[in-house]
C-alpha cells in the first residue's frame, strides 16, 4: 500500500470550536507558520460544535461574576474538576465571547437595551447563557470557518486520523497517520506540533446526540499512544433527546436545555408531571438528576408509546414557543411532532464525555509535541458539565492551544523523524479487515448499543459493569473476524464503519473500567450499589491508560487549589440565590 507524505508546522485534528480557534490563534501569533486542519468531514459542516443549540456560558451581566460562574462549575463537577482548568475556563470565556462578537463577527441575541441576552440553563445560579436563538453553534462555526478560509490555512478534508506516530526513541510525537477517505490511501503528516481536537462523541450508546461520524477517534488514538485518560466514567446524558422511533436517525438528537429553563414540563405516559418526586427543583434540576428521573419512570413502565416520556411546552403559549425555539419547533415538525402546541416524546441521550486526555492549562500533554483541547480532554468539568460550558471549553482552550503551539515552536527548529516501523505496523492493522471475508457489522453495532445503554448507562452496578467488560471483549474478537470488501477503497464506508466500531469498543472499555473502579456516585456516574457520593474532601479522579492489550487504572487526588468542599469564593455564600435548575 502506497503512502503519501506531507509536512506542516502545526497539524490540527478536528474542525470544531477548539480546532478552528487554535488555527486562528496560531496564525495570529505567527503568520509564517504552515498550519493544516485535518477533518473527517468537511470543514465548517461537521462536528459537534456546529450542532450546539443552547449557548455559551459567560459572566457578563451585572450581579454575575467569574467567581460565581466558577463556583457553579465546581459544584456542578461534584468537586472533581481541576480547579485551575475551571478557573481558566470562566475567566477566559469573558475574553473569548468579546472576540467572537467583535473580531469574528458573531451576532448573538440582544436585550431591548442592546446588551447581550443571557438565558437560564441548568445547574447555574445566574442566567448567563449567551445564544443566537437555538442555533448558536451554527453561528459560531460559520464565522470561524469564514475566517479560516480567509487566512489561507491548509485543509485536509475527508481525512481521518488513525494513529499518533512517535519518534523512534518514543520521546516525542513525530506526526500523524491518516487515511484519505476520498481515495483510501494512507497519508503521513509530519508535524512539529499536533493538536488533538477531534471531539468525543459517545455514539456507542443506543440513544446519542452526536452525528454518526463521531467515534471517539482522538481518545482511541490517545489510548493506543499510551496517554492517560481521566474521568472516563463521566458520560453525560442529556435528559431530552428526541424519541422519534427506530426508523429515523433523528432519534437521540437534543431538544435543548432552554426548553426546561423556560418552564417546560416533563410528563410521563400516565399524563403526570413527575420530576418533583426526584428533586425539589423539578424539571430545572441538573442533567444527571433529570436523566435519572426519566430513566426511573421508564423502568417503572410509565412510558409513552415509543418508551420514553413527553416534554410539553404548550402551556407557555404556542406563539411564544415558536418565536423563542424556532429551530427545535421546525425539527420536531419534520418528525411529525408539534413542540409548540402539543407534546413531544423524549428519552435521555448520551451527549458529552467529561473524560479525556490529561492535559495542562497551556493545553500541552504528557507527549512532547502533542497538545489537546475541547472534548478530547478531561478535567475541566469533573463529574458533570453544566449546559453552556461545553462550547466555552472548546473555544477557550482552542485559542490557548493555538497560542501555546506557536510559542512552543519558537524554540524548537526542524521536524522529528518518525518511527517507520510504527507507521508500517499501523497501516497493516488498519488494513486487517480486508484480509477477512466481508461480513455484517450491524449485529456488532446493535450489541454495543445495548451493552452500553443497559450496563454502562445512566444507572450502574458492579454486576452490570463486569458483564459489560466481558461483552466488550467478545465484541472486539467478533469484530476482528469480520472483514470488508476492498476492491475499491475510495469512500469505502464499510471500512470506516469497521474502524469506527474498533475505536468505540476501545473507548467503551475505558469507560466501563473507570466506572467499575469508582465505588461512589458523583454527577453523571451513579452506582446503584454505591449511591453515596463519598468523602468530598478526599476526592480522587480516575486515570485509565493502555498497557499492551490491557487497561491500567489509577486514582489521583483532586488538588483543591482555589476552594475546598464546604467553602466558597463568594463573599456571602449564604445569600446566593437558589439554583434555577
| Residues that are catalytic | 238, 260
Can you tell me the distance from the alpha carbon of 574 to that of 320, in angstroms, rounded to the nearest whole number?
35
Residues in the chain: 581
Q: Give every CB contact of residue 543 below 8 A, 6+ residues apart in sequence.
A: 228, 229, 230, 358, 553, 554, 555, 556
Can you tell me the distance from the alpha carbon of 181 to that of 263, in angstroms, rounded to the nearest whole number?
45
User: Across the chain, how many H-helices and E-strands are there?
Assistant: 14, 19
Number of neighbours of residue 81 by Cβ within 10 angstroms: 30
Can you tell me the distance from the alpha carbon of 318 to that of 534, in angstroms, rounded to the nearest whole number?
45
H or E stretch at 134:
none
Q: Is 87 exposed, middle or buried (0-12, 13-18, 19+ CB in 10 A)?
A: buried
Strand partners, 242: 346
Q: Give every CB contact of residue 107 below 8 A, 6+ residues apart in sequence.
A: 101, 132, 139
Q: Largest Cα–Cα distance in the chain?
A: 69
- Kind of pairing between the strands at 343-353 and 35-39: unpaired
Can you tell me the distance from the alpha carbon of 333 to that of 281, in angstroms, rounded to the nearest whole number?
29
Tell me the DSSP string of 275-339: GGGT-TTGGGS-HHHHHHHHHHHHHTT---TTSSEEEE-GGG-HHHHHHHTHHHHHHHHHTT--T
DSSP letter assigned to residue 279? -
Amino acid at each position: 500500500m502506497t503512502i503519501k507524505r506531507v509536512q506542516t508546522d502545526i497539524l490540527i485534528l478536528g474542525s470544531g470550536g477548539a480546532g478552528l480557534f487554535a488555527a486562528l490563534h496560531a496564525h495570529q501569533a505567527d503568520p509564517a507558520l504552515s498550519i493544516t486542519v485535518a477533518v473527517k468531514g468537511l470543514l465548517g459542516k461537521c462536528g459537534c460544535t456546529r450542532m450546539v443549540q443552547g449557548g455559551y456560558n459567560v459572566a457578563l451581566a451585572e450581579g454575575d461574576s467569574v467567581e460565581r460562574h466558577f463556583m457553579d462549575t465546581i459544584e456542578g463537577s461534584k468537586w472533581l474538576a481541576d480547579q485551575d482548568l475551571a478557573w481558566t475556563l470562566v475567566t477566559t470565556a469573558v475574553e473569548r465571547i468579546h472576540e467572537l462578537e467583535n473580531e469574528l463577527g458573531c451576532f448573538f441575541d440582544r436585550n431591548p437595551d442592546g446588551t447581550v441576552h443571557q438565558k437560564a440553563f441548568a445547574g447555574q445560579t445566574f442566567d448567563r447563557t449567551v445564544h443566537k436563538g437555538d442555533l448558536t453553534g451554527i453561528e459560531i462555526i460559520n464565522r470561524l470557518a469564514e475566517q479560516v478560509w480567509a487566512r489561507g490555512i491548509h485543509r485536509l478534508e475527508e481525512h481521518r486520523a488513525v494513529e499518533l506516530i512517535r519518534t523512534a526513541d518514543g520521546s516525542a510525537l513525530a506526526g500523524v497517520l491518516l487515511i484519505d477517505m476520498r481515495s483510501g490511501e494512507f497519508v503521513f503528516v509530519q508535524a512539529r506540533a499536533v493538536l488533538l481536537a477531534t471531539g468525543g462523541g459517545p455514539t456507542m450508546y443506543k440513544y446519542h446526540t452526536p452525528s454518526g461520524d463521531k467515534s471517539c477517534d482522538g481518545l482511541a488514538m490517545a489510548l493506543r499512544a499510551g496517554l492517560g485518560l481521566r474521568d472516563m466514567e463521566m458520560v453525560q446524558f442529556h435528559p431530552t433527546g428526541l424519541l422519534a422511533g427506530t426508523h429515523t436517525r433523528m432519534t437521540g438528537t437534543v431538544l435543548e436545555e432552554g426548553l426546561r429553563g423556560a418552564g417546560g414540563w416533563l410528563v410521563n405516559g400516565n399524563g403526570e408531571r413527575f420530576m418533583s418526586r426526584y428533586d425539589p427543583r423539578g424539571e430545572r434540576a441538573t442533567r444527571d438528576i433529570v436523566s435519572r428521573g426519566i430513566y426511573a419512570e421508564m423502568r417503572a413502565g410509565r412510558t409513552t408509546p415509543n418508551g420514553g416520556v413527553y416534554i410539553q411546552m404548550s402551556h407557555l403559549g404556542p406563539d411564544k414557543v415558536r418565536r423563542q425555539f424556532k429551530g427545535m419547533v421546525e425539527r420536531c415538525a419534520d418528525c411529525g411532532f408539534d413542540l409548540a402546541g402539543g407534546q413531544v416524546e423524549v428519552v435521555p441521550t448520551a451527549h458529552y464525555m467529561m473524560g479525556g486526555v490529561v492535559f495542562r492549562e497551556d493545553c500541552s500533554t504528557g507527549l512532547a509535541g502533542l497538545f489537546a483541547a475541547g472534548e478530547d480532554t478531561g478535567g475541566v468539568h469533573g463529574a458533570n458539565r453544566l449546559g453552556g460550558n461545553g462550547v466555552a471549553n472548546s473555544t477557550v482552550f482552542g485559542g490557548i492551544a493555538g497560542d501555546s503551539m506557536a510559542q512552543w515552536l519558537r524554540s524548537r527548529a526542524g521536524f522529528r523523524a518518525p518511527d517507520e516501523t510504527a507507521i508500517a505496523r499501523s497501516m497493516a492493522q488498519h488494513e486487517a479487515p480486508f484480509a477477512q471475508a466481508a461480513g455484517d457489522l450491524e449485529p456488532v453495532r446493535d450489541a454495543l448499543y445495548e451493552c452500553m445503554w443497559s450496563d454502562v448507562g445512566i444507572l450502574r452496578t458492579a454486576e452490570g459493569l463486569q458483564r459489560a467488560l466481558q461483552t466488550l471483549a467478545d465484541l472486539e474478537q467478533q469484530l476482528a473476524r469480520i472483514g470488508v470488501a476492498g476492491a475499491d477503497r475510495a469512500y469505502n464506508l464499510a471500512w470506516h464503519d469497521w474502524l469506527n466500531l474498533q475505536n468505540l469498543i476501545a473507548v467503551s472499555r475505558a469507560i466501563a473500567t473507570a466506572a467499575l473502579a469508582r465505588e461512589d456516585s458523583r454527577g453523571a456516574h451513579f452506582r446503584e450499589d454505591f449511591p453515596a457520593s463519598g468523602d468530598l474532601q478526599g476526592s480522587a479522579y480516575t486515570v485509565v491508560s493502555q498497557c499492551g492489550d490491557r487497561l491500567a487504572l489509577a486514582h489521583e487526588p483532586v488538588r483543591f487549589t482555589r476552594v475546598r468542599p464546604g467553602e466558597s469564593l463568594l463573599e456571602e455564600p449564604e445569600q446566593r440565590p437558589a439554583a434555577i435548575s
